[in-house]
A and B are shown apart, each in its own frame.
Chain A
Amino acid sequence: MDSRPRPPAQRGAARAAWLFLLPVLVGFGLFYLYPAARGLWWSFTDYSLLAEPEFTGTQNYAELVGDAQFWNALKVTALYVVLNIGSQTLLALVLAALMHRLTRSVMVRAMLLVPWLVPNVTVGLLWLWLLDADLGFVNHLISSLGGESTAYFASPTWALPTVALVNTWAYTGYTALLLYAGMLQTPGYLYESAAIDGAGETRTFFTVTLPLLRPVLALVLVTSMIGSFQIFDTVAVTTEGGPVNVTKVIYFYIYQKAFHQFEMGYAAAAGVALVAILGALVYVQLRLLKASSSDLG
């Protein structure tokens, strides 16, 4: 802390400021930092709810490395994130560009937010019903077009992509709004000069809109990826990790380890490992973000 002598009034002000922050700092420390530290400690123990935690060194981590279920959960989560973030970002980008160049309609924006506003449980139930093999509207459409009715959430091939696309449906509107807000920051004169230069809409998008959107796009990617990694609700509602573990994402795996098998220490280790992996990913992404700061300067 700064130790330079200050006039008493200013020192009083600093004290008042700390007092203002006190409730939050206490809450943050007690319910955020302390559990985080405790979780880290447990990851080095055999804690199981039944007995007091006993230090076992890096045994949990050694077991994790050899745990096929853990690797499966990581693989499933990674695949989910790629499918979800990929489709969602692409769709949102197109949608945002269309809105940006065509309409300022508040109505359109409001409607796009609807799937994001409703609880994920509602989204899960809705699609569970729409994709029902016998009673589902989507399957009815497919079979009336000559296709085959499929139980998408129960199919080992389709379950994971289906969960990913359901969440794409839920989050595309919100992501599009964020990107749209970013596009509004692009000065209008750039579009005027692009038009004067005879650039078409597609060309303008790739030479003006996209390069200037890069910082916002990177930020949106980082935050939506962190969110996507924490997928839990939709899986818990629709597939519960099945069929045969093809949708058992990392969070669901940790949840079951902790609350069905009561292996708290092991579950904590899995949590810590995931935080480390995510931290590394975010770090790389943020580095890329810095490297690609806006061309506008």
Chain B
Amino acid sequence: MTAQDVRAPETRGAGDGGERAVRRARWARGVRLAVLAAFVVVFLIPVYVLLVTSFKPLTEADPSRAWALPETWTFEPWRVAWEKLAPGIANSVLLAVPGSLISAVLGSMNGYVLSKWRFPGADVVFTLFLFGMFIPYQGVMIPLVQLLVNLNELTGLNGVFYGGIPGLVLAHVVYGIPICTLIFRNYYVTIPDEIIEAARVDGAGMLRTYRSVVLPVSGPAFAVVVIWQFTALWNDFLFAVFLTGPQSWPTTVMLNNIAGAQTVPYSQQMAAALLASIPTMVVYVLLGRFFMRGLMAGALKG
């Protein structure tokens, strides 16, 4: 700090001039708030238009009235969309629920070992994971497809690894390991070493310490990882296109195919597009406050 900081504040408490400055500052703040509010509104107009359109009958599909509420509300587009999308949604549930839970459990175990039970070689493993986070999938996708095909042949389980939900879950879990491990590791670093040490002195082994000391306080990290992985698995299109077939298409692929058929009216497409988005929204509303906390505590300090 320089000597400048010591000088008396010029604009404060100096009668008339100070008051004007305060008023000007308040006005500027108002302008900035208005800018922020306008931005948020413009930003969300597409979502609003999407929502109202999905409740309009075909006769109201007029772009000049796209912003208006429906004159007659109809749930027909939603009903049709549900009928068409239901098998995909079922597949997505079978994909995203087990996938995100397995990811969280594995991430927690890794994060614990790598942060609190340091052992020779821990740094090598951690570096390997970090490296994994930066590798783009382009180089791996094609051989991965082939590997899953081989696993189908090897096990005689047709349509399980390649072209099936289990294979897709497997791929997502493996490729999600780096980020999940990192989030847990950064969270566990904040647990004081003394507590772990005390448990060790009391004769608790690694597993026991994990179960009765670390796991009970892991809630927030689990929430962050589950939100993260659930969103990633539910919204994924790339892995699904490469690794699944018609029987195992998740929501996103099915949605794209429905929309690709030119004959489907826009109101139904929009209802289907919204329907596909509801689950991640629900998860976010239920667990969202953890997300922001985790974002600040974990992801950035990596």
Contact = CB atoms under 8 A, between A and B. Distances in A.
Interface string A8-34: 000001101110110111011011101
Contacts of B66: 137, 140
Interface string A247-278: 00011001100110000100110111011001
A262 to B, nearest CB: 11
A129 B270 contact: yes
Contact of A98 (B35, B175, B207): B35
Given A178-B300, A193-B1, A216-B300, A17 B270 contact: no
A274 B136 contact: yes
Given A137-B49, A178-B299, A39 B255 contact: no
B269 A21 contact: no
B190 interface: no
A150 interface: no
Given A16-B207, A111-B44, A119-B252, A31 B49 contact: no
A101 interface: yes
Contacts of B35: 98
Interface in B165-220: 170-171, 173-175, 177, 181, 205-207
A216 B301 CA distance: 9
B26 to A, nearest CB: 12
Contacts, number: 261
A92 to B, nearest CB: 11
B136 A130 contact: no
Interface string B136-166: 1111111110110000000000000000000
A122 B140 contact: no
B40 A108 contact: yes
Contacts of B141: 254, 271
Contact of A198 (B10, B147, B170, B237): B10
Nearest to B106: A24
B276 interface: yes
Contact of A36 (B143, B173, B288): B143
Nearest to A17: B119
B235 interface: yes
Contacts of B248: none
Given A16-B207, A103-B33, A130 B269 contact: no
Given A117-B284, A137-B63, A177-B292, A35 B143 contact: yes
Most buried by B among A106, A115, A117, A122: A122
Interface stretch (A55-63, A79-87, A151-159, A230-238): A230-238
Interface string B59-102: 00101101100000000000000000000000000000000000
B134 A173 contact: no
Name B's interface SS: helix
A296 interface: no
Contacts of B27: none
A181 B50 contact: no
Contacts of A117: 231, 277, 280-281, 284
B140 A140 contact: no
A200 B174 CA distance: 49
A145 B37 CA distance: 24
Contacts of B137: 230
A279 B139 CA distance: 12
B132 A16 contact: no
Interface in A83-120: 95, 98-99, 101-103, 106, 108-115, 117-120
A264 B300 CA distance: 38
Contacts of B50: 126
B174 A27 contact: yes
A2 interface: yes
Contact of B63 (A136, A237, A250): A136
Given A118-B280, A135-B63, A250 B138 contact: yes
B106 to A, nearest CB: 5
B220 to A, nearest CB: 15
A132 to B, nearest CB: 8
Contacts of B173: 27
16 contacts: A20-B113, A20-B206, A31-B170, A38-B147, A98-B36, A102-B29, A109-B292, A115-B47, A120-B252, A135-B266, A140-B64, A197-B4, A230-B137, A232-B238, A237-B259, A278-B136
Given A16-B206, A21-B113, A271-B138, 12 more contacts: A14-B119, A20-B110, A35-B144, A42-B142, A112-B43, A125-B269, A137-B63, A177-B292, A196-B5, A219-B302, A236-B241, A274-B136
